Amino acid sequence: MSGPAADGSDVLVTVPTFNERDSLPRLVTRLLDTLPGLRILVVDDGSPDGTGALAEEIAADDARVRVHHHAPRAGLGAAYVDAFSLIVDGRCGGFAQDVGWIVQMDADGSHAPEELPRLLAAATDADVVLGSRYVPGGATAGWAWHRRLLSRAGNVYSRRALRLPLHDVTGGYRCFRRAALAALEMATVASEGYCFQVDVAFRVDRAGLRAREVPITFVEREHGVSKMSGAVVREALWRITSWAVRDHLRRRRARPTRR
């Protein structure tokens, strides 16, 4: 099975932004320095700091960059669903027509573009590759102890509740084979933020897709403030628990009846 081109010419990176004006130019430069052939789709969520306008300026100077203005404050999950639908449905025109792999990553500098070639190399024999903080070689840098605890606890709860064979189900640095992304029926995703990543990992597992985890180092954001909040955590807890209950009931109904 063939993998992505060495220069990234058949790879498209989706980058959702909300008030990322200070970090976006540096991220774009690092990505294109790492893989000169790739394309970047910036999905701006109505940033009041002018990130969308800045992205348009970058795109005007470089044909490898395009901007999609998403509904203001619709959230991370909705931004990814919108972007993935544009790509898979062919509504990006020639910009994404020959794309075979779609990457998602944060705009705040926490995901290193220099690690992307390793994720793409793993995509040769996988449908989905997850950048993982919690496999040997993976790490987090710059996090306070309570942030580490929250992330670890969220992963353990999600994995056990949903019976997922993955180590990092809340990370946002991922690579999808185009056909695999289409199979996930992303248009039906309604979850946001932290919970969106778990939702997609759950769908990957239940769809029987081949998933691999590659160690990455997650670095605390270079600019701006975290989007994590109590409301985000509560949404994740409620949705994951409800998915787990429904999945348990489905499994029970599927068991053969014993006399």
Give φ, ψ of 52 to 5 degrees: -60, -45
pLDDT at res. 221: 75
User: Cα–Cα distance between 34 and 11 in angstroms, integer?
Assistant: 12
pLDDT at res. 75: 79
pLDDT at res. 1: 62
User: Cα–Cα distance between 240 and 49 in angstroms, integer?
Assistant: 33
Cβ contacts of residue 148 below 8 Å, gap of 6+? Answer: 140
Q: For 226, left (φ over 0), alpha (ψ -120 to 50), or beta?
A: beta
pLDDT at res. 76: 84
Q: For 136, left (φ over 0), alpha (ψ -120 to 50), or beta?
A: beta
Give the C-alpha distances (Å, rounded to integers) separating 169 from 85, 112, 131, 144, 155: 22, 18, 10, 20, 6
pLDDT at res. 227: 54
User: Cα–Cα distance between 128 and 103 in angstroms, integer?
Assistant: 10
Cα three-residue angle 7-9-10, rounded to 5 degrees: 125
- The closest of 106, 219, 226 to 173, measured between CA atoms, is 106
Structure tokens at 164: 């997922």
DSSP three-state, residue 17: strand
Angle between the 193-206 and 230-254 helix axes, to the nearest 10 degrees? 20
Query: How far out from the chain centre does Cα 232 lie?
Result: 16
Please give the CATH architecture assigned to the domain spanning 11-254: Alpha-Beta Complex (3.90)
Between β-strands 65-69 and 139-141, what pairing exists: parallel, antiparallel or unpaired?
unpaired
Residue 117 and residue 35 in contact, taking contact as beta carbons nearer than 8 Å: yes
User: Cα–Cα distance between 76 and 231 in angstroms, integer?
Assistant: 14
Q: What is the mean pLDDT of each run of 10 residues along the chain (259 residues)?
A: 86 95 96 97 94 97 95 80 90 88 95 96 95 96 88 91 95 95 86 83 95 96 61 76 84 69
Give the C-alpha distances (Å, rounded to integers) separating 129 from 4, 92, 215: 12, 23, 10
Whose tokens are 């027509």? That residue is 97
